[in-house]
Structure 1
Amino acid sequence: MIRVTVVGCGNMGGAFVHGLAQHDEYDVTAIDPDETARESVAASASQTTDDPAAADGSIVVLAVKPDLVEPVLAELDLDSDQTLVTLAAGVSRSFVAARTDASVVRVMPNVAAEFGTMAAAATHEGLTDPVRDLLEAVGTFVEVDESLMD
């Protein structure tokens, strides 16, 4: 069982939670300060919470709006054994990597992840087999140089 934490349960984070729920190998914890957002994914997540300390998955998906990336990262205590998959548009991998001990992968997905039909681009840097498997569980992706993402 692979533990995945999704931080941010809006449209994109919710799509990842629902998409991963279709696969038995993922145990998903969903974190969001908004109770309505947590309720929207409760049936698909093994647990929901507003506590950033619950971000203990081996893969942490950061699905917050770009202006919230820095303050949310300040609340997360991730270590070098974890991989952070950031979905925030326009926020560079280096910006995120400078604010966490986790390895970082930047992904540009779409909400079709909810149905397992996502098409995404992912950076080469930090992309591991478990992250590849996670992305393939919710759709397809191509590895690209980050300069092609902005």
Structure 2
Amino acid sequence: MTLDRDPIRIAVVGCGNMGAALARGLAATDGLQVLAIDPDMDRARGLLGDAPVMLRATPAALGEEQPPALVVLAVKPQALPLVLPPVASVLPAETAVVSIAAGTSCASLRAALGPQRPVFRAMPNMPAMVGRSMTVMYADGPGEDVRALCQRVFATVGQTVWVTAEAQIDLATAVSGSGPAYVFAFVEQFACAAARIGLPVGLADALVRATVVGAADMLVDGANRAEALKAAVTSPGGTTQAALDVLEGRHALPSLLKRTLAAALRRARELARADGGRPIKLRLKRS
């Protein structure tokens, strides 16, 4: 393990939106050096901007110079069957690996990377792109020093929380991992509904965005629960109460969200059973 070196090298395999966000956060942190791996180097460099990140096309770069202390697998689950063999072939046995791929167990990672490999699972979410991620992490055995490094890595893009059971990662995937899309879908439909009642499209969009962002800001410090804030807006017999009677009706939001989370959880478990599903063609060259 290379935790006693300065700077500590962290590698990010996969430099799409999430991988690039993490690489940018790491590159802005003192004491860390970042290596990113992605076959589409033009796209990756565009996402990385001017962040001081070393960018290479293939996992062979993981075996060059100083080996990384931690490798983050920031690829989709379908890509893991292609990515894991070349990664395993060049990494020292003690190098820790953390995967953000949904539905891929620690046992599956060890089967591909070696039985003694320190492995983690993490589920960040899209607000990592603006430094506001909620990352849920699970460690299956590694020591406290490696856990601390893993937490330090994901803290560069937002909040972190550890869970004690691996099954909770799938639950978190359905809530915080996929959750930003639920919020965006709500905003999209909210703005469409506002336009349908007669507001100009641009004004409807501006009003909805400002309303959602302002309401979210009131939740940030956690001083008030959502129920209390909702009650503060709602006057008995008023317009808000009339709207909530529809939104929170028996077959409306409560039922819809229950079915929404159940569908996401079901898919996460399907991915786990399928060992990540069909590989996709990333054209990663093997060393």
TM-score over 0.5 for the alignment?
Answer: yes
The one-character-per-residue Cα deviations of 1:89-131 (angstroms, maximum 9, x if unpaired) are 1111211111113311000001322333210111132362211
Q: 1:107 aligns with which of 101, 116, 122?
A: 122
Letter in 1 for 2:104: V
Q: Is the 2:22–2:156 contact (alpha carbons within 8 Å) kept by the matching residues of 1?
A: no
Give the residue type in structure 2 aligned to 1:135: F
1:10 equivalenced with 2:16 (yes/no): yes
Does 1:79 find its partner at 2:92? yes
The answer to whether structure 1 residue 36 and structure 2 residue 42 are counterparts is: yes
Residues 13-55 of structure 1, C-alpha deviations (whole Å, 9 max, x = no match): 0110111122122110110001223312262243101021222
C-alpha distance in 1, partners of 2:76/2:156? 23
Gaps of 5+ in 2: 1-6, 171-287
Mean Cα displacement is larger for which, 20-29 or 8-17? Answer: 20-29
**Aligned counterpart in structure 1 of residue 73 of structure 2, from 34, 43, 62:** 62
TM-score, normalised to structure 1, is 0.90
Q: Does structure 1 residue 148 correspond to structure 2 residue 168?
A: yes
> What's 1:96 paired with?
109
Structure 1 unmatched runs, 5+: none
Q: In the TM superposition, what is the alpha-carbon distance from 1:70 to its structure 2 partner?
A: 1.6
Report what 2:158 is aligned to.
139
User: TM-score, with normalisation over the residues of structure 2?
Assistant: 0.49
CA contact (8 A) 2:139 2:147 kept: no
Range with greater deviation from structure 2 (41-50 or 29-38)? 41-50
Supply the distance in 1 between the matched residues of 2:150 and 2:136 (Cα, whole angstroms).
13
Aligned residues: 150
* Aligned-residue identity in percent: 35
Q: Would the aligned equivalents of 1:34 and 1:50 in 2 still touch at CA under 8 Å?
A: yes
Contact (CA 8 Å) 1:61, 1:87: kept in 2 or not? Answer: yes
- Secondary structure of 2:33's match? strand
Q: Deviations over 1:63-96 (max 9, x none)?
A: 0111111210111122222111101111112111
> Structure 2: which amino acid aligns with 1:80?
A
More strand by share: 1
User: What amino acid sits opposite 1:85 in the alignment?
Assistant: V
Give the residue type in structure 1 aligned to 2:126. V
Partner amino acid, structure 2, of 1:14: A
The DSSP-based 3-state class of the residue aligned with 2:136 is strand
Secondary structure at 1:98 match in 2: helix
Q: How far apart, CA to CA, are the structure 1 residues paired with 2:91 and 2:101?
A: 18
